[in-house]
Amino acid sequence: MSTVFDAEVEAQSKANYDEAAVKPYSLPDPLRTVEGREVTTPELWVKTRRPELLRLFESQVFGKTPTPAKPIVVTSEVVSEDSQALGGKAVRRDVTIRFGDGPNAPHMDLLLFLPKDASATHRAPAFLGLNFEGNHAVSNDPGVRVPTCWMRETKDGKIVDHKATEAGRGSVFDRWCVDKIVGRGYALATVCYNDIDPDYDDGFQNGVQPLFYRPGQTKPDPDQWGSIGAWAWGLSRALDYLETVPEVDGKKVAVMGHSRLGKTALWAGAQDQRFALVVSNNSGEGGAALSRRNYGEDVAHLNTSFPHWFCGNYKQYSGHEEKLPVDHHELLALIAPRPLIVSSAEEDRWADPRGEFLSAKAADPVYRLLGTDGLTLKEWPSPAEDSLSKGTLAYRYRPGKHDVLASDWDAYLNFADAHLKK
């Protein structure tokens, strides 16, 4: 019996990885309005072009966040606190954030580690990121709740659906490097993305979407959000909460994500300008990579393997990337002038590392128009363990696989020190 996993491996093996076979393409100009007006001033960008691009990404790519039929009452509760976490180096809080007040109101659990010396007068900058495996998997801390949400993982080449268990505690410890982050003076907040919308195609019956339906509506309209939009909304609600935490500097919250959650971090950062810094780790197609470049994954694959991630209107671009009214350098440009890292891994050809670099390069004119130094790299670099280019729009290209490594965190922390601590 073939599985979703087999289909995935087959799709990845059939993709184009030959630079010589990349067809010529031309990118939309981020500094020209749909009507053809050249954007020559920051004012024109802010008032006209940025909102126009945002609307195009909303209606054609990720879908817009609907206005709920009834305002959603969001409440939070600290379920447990440990002032001696990480061997006494951190304070850990396990928080429940509820959306709505009914008995079945969806909720997300937010796990927060604070450096021990953070206080209302010495507030810590923070990294916020969604995780795949559950909050209990991020560290070995025995006090963190095991999540109750649906989970999926790949075991021995097979997809397995299950609920998280104690066995997963600390399983992605080395992806999150909590000790390192807290040791460098940053808070870390994380939420399991399945709490916001379980990552499978159920016609949008679970997760937060139903909270937003009009009377009689049963699924999002073609221009309304899919799961990535919902996950990004959850990140903004997590930021709302962080803004209320006395020990966190709400004006210095970086949003970070890996792979599909890198796409999500970019979309959250593009929409919510309160995010002070954005990190895209191996986000690939539908994230930092250019869609018009036929290398690695394509839009058709996203739409068929993950039909719930993007909006309904995005389906029309399967096999027709050239018809997209935007490309993903413009998603990066929506983050300007805030600091942004686009990070690629050499063996992650599916995510098109060079396409991620070229995307950053094509976003550079917007960063420069807005008065920053933009991307200082001119050419796609060779991969290097300690790579991180200078500039407000930075690019990292390291050897190795699609993953988050301790050395990635070193680079992100150095970048955050340069931009958030100055």
Q: Which residues are catalytic?
A: 259, 402
Residue 94 or residue 348: which is nearer to ligand GCU going by CB?
A: 348
DSSP codes of every residue in 11-78: HHHHS---GGGPPP--PPPTTB-TT--B--SHHHIIIIIHHHHHHHHIIIII-BPPPPSSPPPEEEEE
Minimum CB distance to ligand GCU smaller for 3 or for 273: 3
Minimum distance from CB of 141 to ligand GCU (Å)?
Answer: 25
Q: How far is the CB of 281 from ligand GCU (least distance, A)?
A: 10
State which residue, 5 or 213, has the beta carbon closest to ligand GCU: 5
Smallest distance from the beta carbon of 57 to ligand GCU, in angstroms?
Answer: 17
Task: Give the shortest CB-310-to-ligand GCU separation in angstroms.
Answer: 11
Residue 170: beta bridge partners? none
Q: What's the Cα-to-Cα distance from 354 to each of 229, 295, 342, 345, 405, rounded to whole Å?
A: 26, 9, 11, 10, 20
Which parts of this chain interact with ligand GCU (CB under 6 A)? 259-260, 284-285, 297, 350
Q: Which is nearer to ligand GCU, 131 or 259 (by Cβ)?
A: 259
Region of residue 36 (left: phi > 0; alpha: psi -120 to 50; beta: else): left
How far, in Å, are 231, 297, 397, 420 from residue 289 at the CA level? 20, 10, 13, 26
The CA distance from 183 to 176, in Å, is: 13
Looking at the Cβ atoms of 259 and 392, the one nearer to ligand GCU is: 259
CA distances from 50 to 38, 42, 65, 139, 271 (A): 13, 10, 17, 39, 10
- Which tokens belong to 286? 């539908």
CB of 308 to ligand GCU, least distance (A): 13
